[in-house]
Amino acid sequence: MAPRKQHDGFTIVELLIVIVVIGILAAIVIVAYQGVTNRANDAAVKSDLTTIAKKLEADKLLNGADTYPTSETDLDSANIKATKNAYDTTINNFVYCKSDTSTMMYAVVAKSKSGSTYYVSNTSLTPKLYTGTFPTARSILCATFGAIGTGDLGWFGSTPGGWSNWVK
Predicted confidence at residue 19, as pLDDT, reads 96
Total number of domains constituting the chain: 1
The neighbouring-strand residues paired with 98 are 106, 150
Q: What is the CA radius of gyration of the chain?
A: 25
Residue 54 lies in a domain: yes
Predicted confidence at residue 47, as pLDDT, reads 97
Predicted confidence at residue 154, as pLDDT, reads 55
Residue 48 lies in a domain: yes
Query: Which residues form the domain of 131?
Result: 35-153
Residue 21 lies in a domain: no
Predicted confidence at residue 156, as pLDDT, reads 47
Predicted confidence at residue 158, as pLDDT, reads 41
Residue 163: Cβ-neighbour burial (10 angstroms; 0-12, 13-18, 19+): middle
Residue 100 lies in a domain: yes
Residue 132 lies in a domain: yes
**Residue 153 near residue 80 (C-beta atoms within 8 A):** no
- pTM (predicted TM-score): 0.78
Percent helix, strand and coil across the chain, each to the nearest 5: 40, 20, 40
Residue 52 lies in a domain: yes
- Positions in the chain whose pLDDT score sits under 70: 1-3, 100-103, 139, 146-161
Predicted confidence at residue 103, as pLDDT, reads 67
